[in-house]
Structure 1
């Protein structure tokens, strides 16, 4: 007897809370849980920290996705594309097959807390394939354990499927040439999700050049979360309004250091009903790979 399917998702739904996920699991609903915890992408730390955390305790039935091995191509193999280039199409589709993810699978992704390291990255990659039944667990492991729910230490086994059928939609991914072509436009078309000190060029813990793309505005992804959870939609819209002067993000480009936390910024915008933004995959680390590209410093674009 097959597991019952999850009720239809709300239009535009991109996150799920712990009580709802717990109810789905208790009811035996068919879904695939993916643990995307990773080491901070700002440098340092054990690159295997995410997998070790999964081994030490994970949500029931959750498989692990590794940011560097599964959700990005090796930077050395794709020079100029940043520290976390898009994964190869065949490799990523094969990984989805290993995780038993098919086009009709409901996927719930989580990480340590707010979704930035690196649940939102997998959410975005699946959306690039046209897979809309994917949600990020709001609050992640921290919210799960805060609710008094147990973590498991078993190694879940799933029957693998063939590689996922589909290809990334190139229209939803921005490259450096497209960013270069828009330099000189009025500020507001490019949002940088990094911390203010990195955006301003006051500090740079991981990349060899500090600063930002000229014309970019700073909307730190961390400004859209509180205690590990996304802010309510109205508050997210208000913060976008403060930065842009309006709340229309249609054709806005999002970037960060390497294309990871920009995905979280996109997740936050989508959760607030703000649609149409796209991610510059190479982000800052890809931009500065060419020394001829301009760099700005300071708190403004």
Structure 2
């Protein structure tokens, strides 16, 4: 059992989590969300969730929607976010597991929020709610009763870049990796933001490429793919982006699963880049 009880820091398999549900330091967070219907995830959680799971809403809990000019899902401030962690019963020593019912991107947002607070023991449930339920593992509709222990921490600001910092990063020869689908990157379609295209100098790595059959590719396969993409660069030279700073976290998680730690996030991402209409836009591959 000791092997099961060790810290999970990237992804955890459903069968392994299922035998650790009584683990005293475990806090599970349900991150199901729909951009089309922002209330759907929480409604689904109220009906049924992994036993003991708290609920994190992308826009209410994992973003600060009051911030203007910082993209569609602005990064929250640390004090407010830590208050949410306290409410969910998460302590600095907690083993956190996040899941959603998509492909792990919303859960990965929580993963990277915690990672940039310096929280190591946080993982995403591989295959999420879909795999959990397909295996017939236990579910509950009961609310969680969290223990109260105040969480106090600050974000590692060196891993969080705004648009101006990204411009400087690119000017210095740094790498910017866009996690959006290829058609959005090329500017052929744009369902969410006001202008189609990408940041000049960015390269495309759709976050869906991290998955195979609904689960993360193996660490070895991800390492091969990301090393080819990085072409000799150190992971710390990489900044991840997407449409609003959410699915980019999936690439950051995949890189860490591959043993490539230290990449950064463009928090506002494409929607934050577009906040200043003077910034250049590129289209095509």
- TM superposition score category, shorter chain reference: over 0.9
Match of 1:268 in 2: 254
Partners of 2:60 and 2:111 lie apart in 1 by: 16
Match of 2:19 in 1: 23
* Contact 1:257–1:284 (Cα < 8 Å) also in 2: yes
* Contact 1:240–1:247 (Cα < 8 Å) also in 2: no
Selected match of 1:154 from 119, 142, 156: 142
* Contact 1:190–1:255 (Cα < 8 Å) also in 2: yes
- Note the aligned Cα RMSD (angstroms): 1.9
* Contact 1:108–1:136 (Cα < 8 Å) also in 2: yes
Determine whether 1:72 maps to 2:63: yes
Partners of 1:190 and 1:218 lie apart in 2 by: 9
Determine whether 1:143 maps to 2:131: yes
Partners of 1:171 and 1:292 lie apart in 2 by: 26
Match of 2:87 in 1: 98
Match of 1:221 in 2: 207
When structure 1 is superposed on structure 2, of 28-37 and 239-248 the one drifting more is 239-248
Match of 1:183 in 2: 170
Determine whether 1:209 maps to 2:195: yes
Determine whether 1:251 maps to 2:237: yes
* Contact 1:184–1:215 (Cα < 8 Å) also in 2: no
When structure 1 is superposed on structure 2, of 203-212 and 123-132 the one drifting more is 123-132
Give ranges in structure 2 of 5+ residues lacking alignment. Answer: none
When structure 1 is superposed on structure 2, of 253-262 and 78-87 the one drifting more is 78-87
* Contact 2:245–2:267 (Cα < 8 Å) also in 1: yes
Give ranges in structure 1 of 5+ residues lacking alignment. Answer: none
Residues 19 and 132 (structure 1), Cα distance of their counterparts in 2 relative to 1, 3 Å cut: same
Partners of 1:115 and 1:255 lie apart in 2 by: 16
* Contact 1:6–1:29 (Cα < 8 Å) also in 2: no
In the alignment of these two chains, the number of paired residues is 284
Match of 2:52 in 1: 61
TM-score scaled by length of structure 2: 0.94
Determine whether 1:39 maps to 2:34: yes
- Following superposition, the deviation at residue 113 of structure 1 comes to 4.2
Partners of 1:5 and 1:274 lie apart in 2 by: 23
- Following superposition, the deviation at residue 182 of structure 1 comes to 3.1
- Following superposition, the deviation at residue 6 of structure 1 comes to 6.9
* Contact 1:120–1:267 (Cα < 8 Å) also in 2: yes
Structure 1 counterpart SS, 2:279: coil
* Contact 1:128–1:172 (Cα < 8 Å) also in 2: yes
Partners of 2:235 and 2:179 lie apart in 1 by: 14
Match of 2:156 in 1: 169
- Following superposition, the deviation at residue 233 of structure 1 comes to 1.4
- Following superposition, the deviation at residue 89 of structure 1 comes to 2.2
Selected match of 1:131 from 119, 127, 145: 119
Structure 1 residue ranges (4+ consecutive) displaced by more than 4 angstroms after TM superposition: none
- Following superposition, the deviation at residue 20 of structure 1 comes to 1.1
